[in-house]
Structure 1
């Protein structure tokens, strides 16, 4: 299984257009919004979430570009972890695809109904909650009931899931969990035996957003890295990689103590474009 990290930042990317914090103005290598591409055969690709940056991400990734026919594309579908806009808005950019299957939790599909009606006008999209990807085995773990801000009411959850994706041909296992409000029941089992865990690295500490007037991290649906690091240290089997990193997160600075702490715990902070073969 091939895995390409198309984007590794949280909503807004880094730098974020409406932010003048130290990290956004320090000239760090830019990161686009979180999105991953996976393939069992290197020919057909599936997206894990679909960021607003998807057009640029596709054009920057030769394996995802159109061809060899003038309108042939290698994309075969999209798996959404939730209904957050920074994870789904990219579907609008893919409207020329003529329709793709999209998998998401039932509650997320319900919240996305107005959005879906727009996308459906451009082709035969299908919206599913039971995941079935040829050549790969996918297990789904509900991880929280965090609703998007635009959907304060709606059906019962789960609203957010994590995915465990296995290539039966190689035994390679990827876990994709960019939005963890806690370390939920069943998560240890989900990551057991995994080769690569892409873990929520949105915020480093619980008070991180206080400096820019934002809410606390748990209210936003993200377990801070300080709470995850002890668990990572105690579970050295998989390769742990933090993704969905917010523009305020000090780990983005490679000279920071926080960055060093992540590496010391055995985790990585891979940049956009990083590729794995599992």
Structure 2
């Protein structure tokens, strides 16, 4: 199984277009040791030819240009992208669908709750019906936070996906923002994915948005060979302390790295061979490779994803 990190930043990318924080100013003028990043998305394949795009960021065209495996190679019009799978309906994870409007109908895998948002609050599906069209496949979730039945995407042999409901936040525009849809009868607003190579049995747990870690989610993380998880904020009050927002990390559906119950503490308990943070906000000091926060991650054997990063299992 091969995973390519197409984009590793949170919404807005890095540097963010209108931000003059230490990180954004520093990467523009070269005063910090940091690398620009596009908004988060990954691609998964077993054969290196047919890929599932997981989240379609607004930067998808630049990401395709930077990734030869996703470019046309077999026909006059063609793509290595066999299907798109969505973790949620956040703007930075779905608006790239509009950039994929040329060509054949687009196979799209997401929960019923996300599909509802894409037909109402952010009606991308009706818009795309006038272009390529969308073939929706529901990602159904099991009750009680249990793993749902796994599925395989036609044309992408050798990879099995298992969706799991997460405690996080629906987009601000969604009617579910403060009423998460995770009960036994309604599909969830946010999911994680257990991604398995059916030949080797190797697994990756992917969750770019993770507000809290329930016991069943930690159990999945414990059994995975690699975890690729939410690295949005270093501090719980990061945006408040910088004067950018009145909302904490938890208010926005993210678990910060620091603190007694933070992501570092969680990952210290996880036995995965590789532990990687993705969806890094432009304010997070770990983007500065010379920072003490980055050194702290290294001491805990935690990696930071970057655009173009490849994970092979």
| TM-score normalized by the length of structure 1 | 0.96
Aligned counterpart in structure 1 of residue 292 of structure 2, from 257, 270, 275 = 257
User: Structure 1 residues 206-215 or 187-196, which shifts more?
Assistant: 187-196
Q: Is 1:171 equivalent to 2:201 in the alignment? A: yes
Match of 1:244 in 2: 279
Q: Is the 1:217–1:223 Cα contact (8 Å) retained in structure 2?
A: yes
Matched residues in 2 for 1:91 and 1:138: separation? 21
What does residue 7 of structure 1 align with?
Answer: 7
Residue range with higher mean Cα deviation, 250-259 or 124-133: 124-133
**Residue segments in structure 2 that go unaligned for 5+ positions in a row:** 28-33, 140-150, 183-187
1:126 maps to 2:126? no
Once the two structures are overlaid, the 10-residue window that deviates more, 134-143 or 150-159, is 150-159
2:126 corresponds in structure 1 to 117
**2:243 is matched with which residue?**
212
Distance 1:173 1:59, change over 3 A: same
In 2, the alpha carbon distance for the partners of 1:34 and 1:263 equals 22
The question of whether the paired residues in 2 share the 8 Å contact of 1:100 and 1:126 is answered with: yes
Aligned length: 278
Helix, strand or coil at the partner of 1:240: strand
**How much has 1:155 moved relative to structure 2?**
8.2
2:212 paired residue among 182, 192, 203: 182
Paired residues of 2:55 and 2:93 also in contact (CA < 8 A): yes
The match for 1:222 is: 254
- 1:189 and 1:126 map into 2 onto residues whose CA distance is 33
Query: Can you give the 5+ residue segments of structure 1 that lack an aligned partner in the other structure?
Result: none
Q: Give the secondary structure class of the aligned counterpart of 1:176.
A: strand
- C-alpha distance in 1, partners of 2:269/2:221? 13
- Equivalence for 1:139: 162
Superposition misfits of 4+ residues, deviation over 6 angstroms: none
* Among 249, 272, 278, the residue aligned to 2:307: 272
TM-aligned CA deviation for residue 192 of structure 1: 3.0
The alpha-carbon deviation at position 221 of structure 1 amounts to 0.5
- Counterpart in 2 of 1:67? 73
